[in-house]
Structure 1
Amino acid sequence: MSAIHTNAQHRHDFVLLFDVLDGNPNGDPDGGNLPRVDMETMHGLVTDVCLKRKIRNWIATYGDLMAENSEEARRLKLFVKHHGVLNDQIREAYLAEGLPVGQPSEETVRDSKVLEALYQVREFLPSSFTLFEEDDDNNDPVIKLRYSGELDADELKEQLQESEASPEWKAVKKLVEDLIKNSRKPKKSLQNTEKAKHWMCANFFDVRMFGAVMSTGLNAGQVRGPMQLTFSRSIDPVFPEDLAITRVAVADAKDREKLQTIGRKTKISYGLYRGYGFFSAPLAKQTGVTDRDLELFWEAVQGMFEVVDRSASRGLMAVRGLYIFSHENPLGNAPAHKLFDRISVQKRPEVDTPRSFDHYVIELDETNWPQGVTLTKLIEG
């Protein structure tokens, strides 16, 4: 029998503590990649998306170490991944379930100028367009462009915007328009959408755990994930720094006699962050989360900074606390915020400027403990 904190039939609320020393835990692209802060209080912020990315990376690494065709590896694919194409993932669900993706159309490209332009613009075309080679009736190789027919007019307009910005677009415009005209989008079917959604939940860890909107191409519906995270906030204000760095090498020989090339590095000296998470048993039942999924999630949280996230820019990051409140009642036995208030994190009175985890005191209030709630301390200090 699994421990209560890995039981997907229970509600779980948790407190996550992690710190950073001389690093940037989550850069803000709108702020020169400086560490994110609350501009009113200067408390540091780390987004939920940032932590989910690290958890996904851990799951991907764990899955890569498993036998490729094992049952568990099949269930640990990721919908959102680096340089991934979401519509390709949704199309995979339709093909796996034998669902219609539309009436495709294809054209042989015989004009050399059009073909040359296609090679230039194809990286900007939606993934529903495929440029491929096959033999004609005389066994001579020909180049063809195929369109799957899966996008409606609005989706096509949105996804072709980047292609239309290319200077080569004019040469291929008529070819693409003819393909679209000769194709046909599949009829909307709630049954097909539900089948595709079920397949996505069964095969993609992040879909069944975090949820996803899967209607950007073929429609696989929308999944509300049972595991939700908040922004994490530093216990005390932090001071983002933008430091100059130099290098002794130059990129080009002509710059050899110049001064050392100067770059930038952003960081905070130290910050202890506190975030929260919530796991819903009823939603987990809908998406098919298993006890093993939940066990892997806790392992991923504990190891998310250790496995593939180390970098000079992030300094030294570590998970310092993971406190899980598990409820006997799937709907809960106590309000989450009141459980969270039982964990107090305070700077030591003799410390002026915190520079290590030891500069804080963590206390747990165990008086008048609510009935039906179990606390599991996976990491403490």
Structure 2
Amino acid sequence: MADLVKNRHEIVFIYDVKDGNPNGDPMDENKPRMDETTGLNIVSDVRLKRTIRDYMGTVQKAERPEGYEQEVFINGDPVTSEQRAKELISDITDSKRFDRQRASEALLKKCIDLRLFGGTVPISKLNMSITGPVQFRFGRSLHRADSVFVQGTAAFVSKEGNEQRSFSEKWQLPYSCIAFYGVLNQNTAKETLLTDADVDFLFEAMWDGTKDLITRSKMEQLPRLLIDVIYDEEKNFHIGELDKAIELKSEIQEERIRGAKDFSLEVSELKGLLYEYRNNIKKVRCRIDPRLKLTLNGKPFEIEGLLEGKTEKLEK
């Protein structure tokens, strides 16, 4: 029997990138997305979800709730959503006695990304529109960042007969430390049949999937901090904007930051909020890169003290 999600979750995920492009804008020369007013680097929620889907599509969990599968509905194949749905549940969609409820449940139990993020399945007999229980805001860097234009020499000439090799060009960020904020709505989770095992796999995919992005533009992406605040069962409450309660502190100009050694994250406001609403919180789960420095009122701080008696490690 699968353990369906019964608790609201509030999520903060921080990772960084060095000499790369975490999310290029195809409408603007594939430049890193920037907020021109604040100078902050922006990463879309779609990019994060793609990271999660890519990981889930390649890493198969040995243990899953009975009757549940780990297919990824949006897997990058060049097909329509209708074609993909029919491919996954053809035994039901091709049946003369089509059962809408059975088809909906079968698709949800088969596809973990539909259980997490929802989606639209425009089959004439089904026409599902699923609101995902897990929603992320756009990620933003915790500091101002500069994008730079880099040129290099290509490996080959651009045309047969040419002797001079062409140039490669790209936009990248010397460094960016990015924070994502998300909420898991336990009420919507019931409708998508989301399980606690799915949520644990989500966090694994966020952490390890970020490490797996080994491409030219994302070679040095590392997860630094993951916080999962779990509220009491069936409680329709969350604090909100927990990412805003974490402040990056550095002795050098923000645009000159080049790595985790150049700053610390001040968590005094976050700790205060969690303590203020402690009676609504079941527990706080955390995973941290040991190279990341945390401070509490300017002094070194260990993540285990974030909420006394209710903080535990987020295991893989």
Q: Report the TM range for the smaller structure's normalisation.
A: 0.7 to 0.9
Residue 12 of structure 2 aligns with which residue?
A: 15
- Over 3 Å counting, the alpha-carbon distance change for 1:261 and 1:224 in structure 2 is same
Q: Offset at 1:324?
A: 1.1
Q: Offset at 1:350?
A: 4.3
Partner residue of 1:321 out of 205, 225, 234: 225
Distance across 2 between alignment mates of 1:317 and 1:81: 22
- Over 3 Å counting, the alpha-carbon distance change for 1:335 and 1:43 in structure 2 is same
The answer to whether the aligner puts 1:306 opposite 2:214 as a matched pair is no
| CA shift digits 1:115-145 (9 cap, x unpaired) | xxxxxxxxxxxxxxxxxxxxxxxxxxxxxxx
Residue 262 of structure 1 aligns with which residue?
A: 167
Q: Offset at 1:331?
A: 3.0
Contact 2:6–2:234 (8 Å) recurs in 1? yes
Distance across 2 between alignment mates of 1:242 and 1:216: 45
The answer to whether the aligner puts 1:358 opposite 2:261 as a matched pair is yes
| CA shift digits 1:256-281 (9 cap, x unpaired) | x2x22112122011111111011111
Partner residue of 1:83 out of 61, 65, 77: 77
Q: Offset at 1:375?
A: 1.9
Q: For residue 324 of structure 1, what is the amino acid of its counterpart?
A: D
| CA shift digits 1:175-227 (9 cap, x unpaired) | xxxxxxxxxxxxxx9x8433322111010111111001111655341111111
Distance across 1 between alignment mates of 2:238 and 2:158: 60
Q: Offset at 1:332?
A: 3.8
TM-score by length of 2: 0.80
Residue 62 of structure 1 aligns with which residue?
A: 59
- Over 3 Å counting, the alpha-carbon distance change for 1:194 and 1:72 in structure 2 is closer
More helix by share: 1
Residue 27 of structure 2 aligns with which residue?
A: 30
Distance across 2 between alignment mates of 1:25 and 1:96: 40
- Over 3 Å counting, the alpha-carbon distance change for 1:271 and 1:73 in structure 2 is farther
Q: Offset at 1:313?
A: 1.6
Residue 110 of structure 1 aligns with which residue?
A: none
Q: Offset at 1:50?
A: 0.4
Residue 335 of structure 1 aligns with which residue?
A: 239
Residue 197 of structure 2 aligns with which residue?
A: 292
Contact 2:179–2:243 (8 Å) recurs in 1? no
Contact 1:208–1:289 (8 Å) recurs in 2? yes
Following superposition of structure 1 onto structure 2, how do residues 195-274 of structure 1 map, counting pairs within 5 Å? 195-215=102-122, 218-250=125-157, 252-255=159-162, 257=163, 259-274=164-179
Contact 1:93–1:196 (8 Å) recurs in 2? no
Distance across 2 between alignment mates of 1:94 and 1:344: 44
- Structure 1 stretch displaced more, 196-205 or 351-360: 351-360
The answer to whether the aligner puts 1:349 opposite 2:251 as a matched pair is yes
TM-score by length of 1: 0.67
Contact 2:85–2:121 (8 Å) recurs in 1? yes
Partner residue of 2:44 out of 47, 50, 73: 47
Q: Offset at 1:94?
A: 5.4
- Over 3 Å counting, the alpha-carbon distance change for 1:379 and 1:262 in structure 2 is same
- Over 3 Å counting, the alpha-carbon distance change for 1:10 and 1:215 in structure 2 is same
Q: What is the CA RMSD across the aligned residues, in angstroms?
A: 2.8
- Which structure has more relative contact order (CA 8 Å, sep 6+)? It is 1
| CA shift digits 1:303-324 (9 cap, x unpaired) | 11223x2111224111111111
Q: For residue 113 of structure 2, what is the amino acid of its counterpart?
A: D
- Structure 1 stretch displaced more, 234-243 or 360-369: 360-369
Distance across 1 between alignment mates of 2:89 and 2:191: 20
Residue 180 of structure 1 aligns with which residue?
A: none
Instruction: Give aligned-pair identity as a percent.
Output: 23
Q: For residue 82 of structure 2, what is the amino acid of its counterpart?
A: N
Q: Offset at 1:253?
A: 4.1
Distance across 2 between alignment mates of 1:217 and 1:241: 48
Contact 1:74–1:203 (8 Å) recurs in 2? yes
Distance across 1 between alignment mates of 2:155 and 2:45: 38
Q: For residue 77 of structure 1, what is the amino acid of its counterpart?
A: E
- Over 3 Å counting, the alpha-carbon distance change for 1:236 and 1:197 in structure 2 is same
User: Residue 156 of structure 2: SS of its match in structure 1?
Assistant: coil
Distance across 1 between alignment mates of 2:176 and 2:120: 34
For structure 2, the 5+ residue unaligned runs are 293-316
